[in-house]
Structure 1
Amino acid sequence: MGIDQFQPQERSISIVNARVEPSEKETGMKVKAKAAVLMDAVSGEVLFAQNAHKKLPPASVTKVMTMLLILEGCDSGKIRLSDTVTISERAASMGGSQMYMEPGEQHTVEELLKGVAMVSANDGCVALAEHLAGSVEMFVEQMNKRAAELGMKDSHFVNTNGLPVANHYTSAYDIAVMSRALIAFPETAQWFTKWQDTIKVGLPGKEKEFGLTNTNKLIKQYPGAIGIKTGFTQDAGYCLSGAAERDGTRLIGVILGCTTSNIRFAEIKRLLDYGFSNYESVKIAEKGQVQKALKIEKGTPSKVDVIMEDDAAILVKKGNKNRIKTKIEMDGYIKLPLKRGQKLGELVVLQDGKEKERFPIVARDSAKKASIKELYIQMMKKLIET
């Protein structure tokens, strides 16, 4: 599927709040940072935490939320990746990391996203915010609203790019949550994992090639790295939200407040190494897989398959794979009419008899109340079969 062809679809990101967050005491690991988190990207389960909910300045890691809102805007159909964006005076005036764009020049949403993802373009963030929301202020309101929806209780955004400003903060845990939502968009992989690219910047007739070199060295240094975003200011220190995938296991590591760039990359590698060494992803069921056949009393059809709404997988400690069992719990009496895709219950995953996760199961097809003629036909079929 082309980058500009994806259609609006439902994206379900479950929020895990009431989980124990393993710390140095449980893992034997201490990270050289003000705060750190290691999270399973599939379930949201926290595998390691160090000052996970401490409110800290995130620098350019802020842009995870900016990119998330833009891609969700594309997903909903409000904007498109192919849209042309005119760079405003405000966007062009941004300092720090930028694409050095001039007021009045034009770029597509996709080009600006690439600039934000690869070179942390502050000017690109402002241009994208203005395109989606009409103004930076309205976009920032949307950032805080989305943070609340995702359960990010330790965050407050004041700008789109993380440039130093009062009362702009988040936490390692919250960054992991919004990073998990962002990489649910497969489109991000082509920007996060690309090391170098070029883009033309400048007004018509004065365009010049501008080189894009990814700020995230993790993608060159760590096998399986798939992103996500670096950040640095004097106040925030060296920060990183990094993700990697191996053998179907996808992890997100967040490091905040390191004293050097080398330390942040070294510590994120330690976090990810710990996760891949101790945990593995276990696939429970595939999207659309039939879990049971539901008999519909006085309905047509008389049976409807109950299927998985999405792929189901959980993370377990290595060696515990065989201790996983599942059971189906239905919601109760099913009223007609029944709509295709309607939630009917949940597939419950148990480890050693204790509940670990739940996944929605839905109706494959619609069903309605049968007419007298349809009930008669069903009755005759039963008589023939017996």
Structure 2
Amino acid sequence: MKLMGKMLSIVLLVTLLLSFSIPEVEAAQPFDINARSAILIDAATGTVLYEKNIHEAYPPASVTKIMTMLLVMEAIDEGKLTLEDKVVVSEHASKMGGTQLYLEPGEIKTVEELMKGISIRSANDACVAIGEHIAGSEELFVQRMNERAKELGMENTNFVNTNGLPADGHVTTAYDISLMSKELLKHKEIHRWLTTWMDEVVVGKSQSVQQLVNTNRLIRYYDGANGIKTGYTSEALHCLSASATRGSTTFISVIMGAPTSPIRFSESTKLLDYGFANYNTVEVVKEDSVVGTVPVQKGKGLELNAVAKEDLALLVKKGEEGKVEKEIILPQFVQAPVMKGEKIGEVIVTVDGKEEGRVDLVAQEDAERASIIDIMSRMFRKIVGS
């Protein structure tokens, strides 16, 4: 009996311990999405609002071109490329097949013309041509695509080409697509093409006019739609990274592997509608905006503007915007010299007293140390009252 009692006690103890170690079941999603994987994020904060198999790797088809466009825009920002640069189309680029501009070997196109072809028509030949122009070869450009993916935290992505044509090992995830989509939307110039419904480009020796129609029909039919990229192959099925902005709120939805094209658009609409119906983005400070001024001791100037180092925004449920509070922390003074971009304060944002984010405040410009002449001149002006 004593043995049985001890065994019963052990069983009860093990059961009790196991009850504490069972992980909590994740909260059920508000609805299902008819696709292999899907995600909805807030573009300002990266907050994930809906997820389905977001880290499962699948072929992305032409959604790949988001990374190609991102590298082009970054090269322009870095001064390595301009929209007017001339690109010579190679034999290799002209033979891509699939959706294309029908570029001919030796043909010369501007970067802007190629970007129109990529962003509006989803032209495979334009992707290779511009990749070769930037990196010297498609292989080197693809290497840079993968390097940039790692920098963005796209841990389950491997690119094999610039355009998403079928290739072994060419995969990414809904989550990773949302990361590169978020980064691309930071480039204001790209919005000009992503939101264009129809345009044209002249190509070939015959100078034929190619009519371009945006493959993303949400641009025409969804309120606030401003991107980004469709994709389809028989293996990838129907994919879409879509974005929309209303007021200060931008959401990005990603659909991978929808069974039909209409379904990818309807499911993306469902995700975006869910975001706009339930959440709002509160802009706390904008990058480079002047938040306050600080007196400068022993400086040529008497005051120094403090500006936000980067954007600070907070996603909240609708109706809770009034709970967001901003605290600006600046010193009573700074001692010259101060370098432009040097941290001199902070902005802290809280909700119901709990910190939810912060951003550095930095010097808008250099604050040089005053010379003896500067000090004497300042004293003289005080004496004479000017």
Q: Does the alignment reach a TM-score above 0.5?
A: yes
Which amino acid is the alignment partner of residue 240 of structure 1?
L
Q: Residue 366 of structure 2: SS of its match in structure 1?
A: coil
> Structure 2 matches for 1:133-152, cutoff 5 A?
133-152=135-154
Q: Residue 369 of structure 1: SS of its match in structure 2?
A: coil
Distance (Å, rounded) in 2 between the aligned partners of 1:318 and 1:383: 57
Distance (Å, rounded) in 1 between the aligned partners of 2:170 and 2:332: 46
Alignment coverage as a number of residue pairs = 361
Aligned twin of 2:82: 80
Distance (Å, rounded) in 1 between the aligned partners of 2:107 and 2:313: 46
Q: Residue 189 of structure 2: SS of its match in structure 1?
A: helix
Q: Residue 211 of structure 1: SS of its match in structure 2?
A: strand
Aligned twin of 1:358: 358
Compute the displacement of 1:209 (Å): 1.5
Distance (Å, rounded) in 2 between the aligned partners of 1:331 and 1:102: 62
Distance (Å, rounded) in 2 between the aligned partners of 1:180 and 1:311: 14
* Two-structure CA RMSD over aligned residues (Å): 2.5
Contact 1:24 1:50 in 2 (8 A): no
TM-score by length of 2: 0.86
Question: What percent identity do the matched residue pairs reach?
Answer: 46
Aligned twin of 1:326: 326
Higher mean Cα deviation, 306-315 or 224-233? Answer: 306-315
Tell me: CA distance 1:40–1:382, structure 2 relative to 1, closer, same or farther (3 Å): farther
TM-score by length of 1: 0.86
Distance (Å, rounded) in 2 between the aligned partners of 1:40 and 1:341: 28
> Structure 2 matches for 1:85-124, cutoff 5 A?
85-124=87-126
Compute the displacement of 1:373 (Å): 5.5
Asked if 1:315 is matched to 2:315, the reply is: yes
Distance (Å, rounded) in 2 between the aligned partners of 1:157 and 1:247: 35
Compute the displacement of 1:364 (Å): 2.5
Aligned twin of 2:262: 262
Aligned twin of 1:13: none
Compute the displacement of 1:285 (Å): 2.9
Distance (Å, rounded) in 2 between the aligned partners of 1:331 and 1:127: 53
Aligned twin of 2:32: 30
Distance (Å, rounded) in 1 between the aligned partners of 2:360 and 2:80: 28
Compute the displacement of 1:355 (Å): 2.0
Unaligned runs of 5+ in 2: 1-24
Deviations 1:162-196 (A, max 9, x none): 11111211111111111111121222222222222
Tell me: CA distance 1:46–1:297, structure 2 relative to 1, closer, same or farther (3 Å): same
Deviations 1:116-170 (A, max 9, x none): 1111111000000011111001101111111112121121111100111112111
Which amino acid is the alignment partner of residue 108 of structure 1?
T
Which amino acid is the alignment partner of residue 354 of structure 1?
K
Tell me: CA distance 1:293–1:189, structure 2 relative to 1, closer, same or farther (3 Å): closer
Q: Residue 36 of structure 1: SS of its match in structure 2?
A: strand
Tell me: CA distance 1:379–1:52, structure 2 relative to 1, closer, same or farther (3 Å): farther
Higher Rg:
2
Compute the displacement of 1:202 (Å): 0.8
Tell me: CA distance 1:366–1:115, structure 2 relative to 1, closer, same or farther (3 Å): same
Aligned twin of 2:8: none
Compute the displacement of 1:342 (Å): 2.7
Distance (Å, rounded) in 2 between the aligned partners of 1:152 and 1:138: 19
Tell me: CA distance 1:301–1:63, structure 2 relative to 1, closer, same or farther (3 Å): same
Compute the displacement of 1:25 (Å): 2.8
Unaligned runs of 5+ in 1: 1-22
Distance (Å, rounded) in 1 between the aligned partners of 2:308 and 2:143: 35
Contact 2:120 2:215 in 1 (8 A): yes
Higher mean Cα deviation, 371-380 or 25-34? Answer: 371-380
Compute the displacement of 1:287 (Å): 4.6
